[in-house]
Structure 1
Amino acid sequence: MHITVREARPADLPAVAELFDLYRQFYEQAPDAEGARAFIAARQARQESVILVAEGGAGPLAGFCQLYPSFCSVEAAPIYVLYDLFVRPGARQGGVGRALLLAAEARAAADGKVRMDLTTARSNHAAQALYESLGWVHDEVFLAYARRIG
């Protein structure tokens, strides 16, 4: 499969929202097509993230990733948080995830970011193998914590 990765355009909103909803379901969230559409539309309208999409032929988008600009205080430099990466089930094992990660890295370099960070489920061994094959390093120093608000 020939894979093309590009930045999402406003016309891609329905397809990206569909992938985003599937991504959320992968992480055990209830389906919410309208919520997914509103979330992605807001990110695009406010230019709060970079969304890259993968095309693999005449069918629907094969996958997407979303990068959020942030900063590393320790390095005193800008970074991207690669928060969302999803490949449509029918397009898996075809290099789509790899293409998206490489395009995200190129975009980060072009945008002057010094690093990208990501988290994934401990059980997502396929993704972990892909990340490590591309030189991502498992953090052995820092622990991640979260606290729900409200």
Structure 2
Amino acid sequence: MIRAATPADLPVIEDLIRRLAAYERALDEAKATREQLAEALFGADPAAYVLIAEDEPSGEAVGFALWFRNFSTWTGTPGLYLEDLFVVPEARRAGHGRALLAALAAICVERGWPRFEWSVLDWNEQALAVYRAIGARPQDEWTVQRLTGPALEALAAHAAPPSGAGPHNRANSHAN
């Protein structure tokens, strides 16, 4: 069974995120607190959403998918970006991951969003096989880039004050 997460699921979501980080060999990088997750997922302006996979008949949470809406300037339409997908090892090969992916695809179709995208570690052969089986294709011409820490701060120091209105305008931001 796949269902939308509720605030009562925060302990489970936090646990699954930590288990995913351990699986991806990056447990020390998983620093989100329960309070941060509560605000990001269930606050006044959610930044992301979570689906929970439950084992039947026990009802135990065995996986999750965390996603958010993105936007394509080329198509002029929103899309769905899957940030995290994880199924606990003991529940793998039972269809939970595929069910989560299908539920996300259904969200895209229902909302008229033409793109459903995600990244996967190049060493995760099991996940890559599942993605190929459902028809996903790699975007080989694209390389993910990331800016964090001192490099992010250094670049931000060169920003000119923004003009105009909008949620990311410093004059309208809570992050002044």
TM-score of the aligned structures, taking structure 1 as reference length: 0.88
Matches of 1:33 and 1:144, distance apart in 2: 19
Larger C-alpha radius of gyration, 1 or 2? Answer: 2
Task: Within 5 Å, give how 1:15-26 maps onto structure 2.
Answer: 15-26=12-23
Q: Distance in 2 between matches of 1:107 and 1:51?
A: 12
Which amino acid letter does the alignment assign opposite residue 3 of structure 2? R
Q: Which moved more, 1:14-23 or 1:81-90?
A: 14-23
CA contact (8 A) 2:54 2:60 kept: yes
Contact 2:72–2:79 (CA<8 Å) still a contact in 1?
yes
Q: 2:61 is paired with a residue of what secondary structure?
A: coil
Identity value in percent? 29
Return the offset for 1:140.
Answer: 2.7
> Is residue 21–residue 30 contact of structure 2 (8 Å, CA) maintained in 1?
no
Secondary structure, counterpart of 2:20 in structure 1: helix
Do the aligned residues in 2 keep the contact of 1:21 with 1:32 (CA within 8 Å)?
no
Highest relative contact order (Cα 8 Å, sep 6+), 1 or 2? 1
For 1:60 and 1:32, the matched residues in 2 are separated by 26
Unaligned runs of 5+ in 2: 151-176
How many aligned residue pairs are there? 147
Q: 1:27 offset after TM fit, Å?
A: 2.1
1:32-51, aligned counterparts within 5 Å?
A: 35-44=32-41, 45=43, 46-51=45-50
Misfit runs of 4+, over 6 Å: none
Contact 1:15 1:60 in 2 (8 A): no
Shift of the alpha carbon at 1:103? 0.6
Corresponding residue number in structure 2 for 1:68: 68
Could you tell me how far apart the structure 2 residues matched to 1:111 and 1:69 are?
11
The 8 Å contact of residues 79 and 113 in structure 1, kept in 2 or not, is answered as: yes
Structure 1 residue 27 and structure 2 residue 24: aligned? Answer: yes
TM-score under structure 2 length normalisation: 0.76
Provide the secondary structure at the position in 1 that maps to 2:64.
Answer: strand
Tell me what 1:132 maps to.
132
Question: What is the match of residue 142 of structure 2?
Answer: 142
1:13 paired with 2:10, answer yes
